[in-house]
Amino acid sequence: MLSFQITNSSRTIQVDFDDDGLSELIAALEELRVGNAGHVHLRSPSAGGSVLGDKTPWGETAVSEVILTLG
């Protein structure tokens, strides 16, 4: 489970994860670090992916796509 949520009147990004979600996030960052990509898309099922959850662990709506960019 990996989810991102925008809170605090759009001033805070909250990231929630379990062990598998942490592994997914580390793998995406590692892909950027070793130069396989300039950016990485993390998407939820509603956005055509499988890495992010559509809901937070508390059932709230999560961000459906996160783009990590090296640069």
pTM of the predicted protein model:
0.89
User: Cα–Cα distance between 30 and 35 in angstroms, integer?
Assistant: 9
pLDDT tens-digit series, residues 7-43: 999 999 999 999 999 999 999 999 999 987 799 999 9
* Contact yes or no for 51/59 (Cβ under 8 A): no
Model pLDDT, residue 53 = 97
Mean pLDDT of all residues in 65-71: 95
How high is the pLDDT of residue 37? 78
Mean predicted confidence (pLDDT) in 44-58: 97
b/e map 15-52, b = 16+ CB within 10 Å: ebbeeebeebbeebeeebeeeeeeebebbbeebeeebb
- The pLDDT value given to residue 4: 98
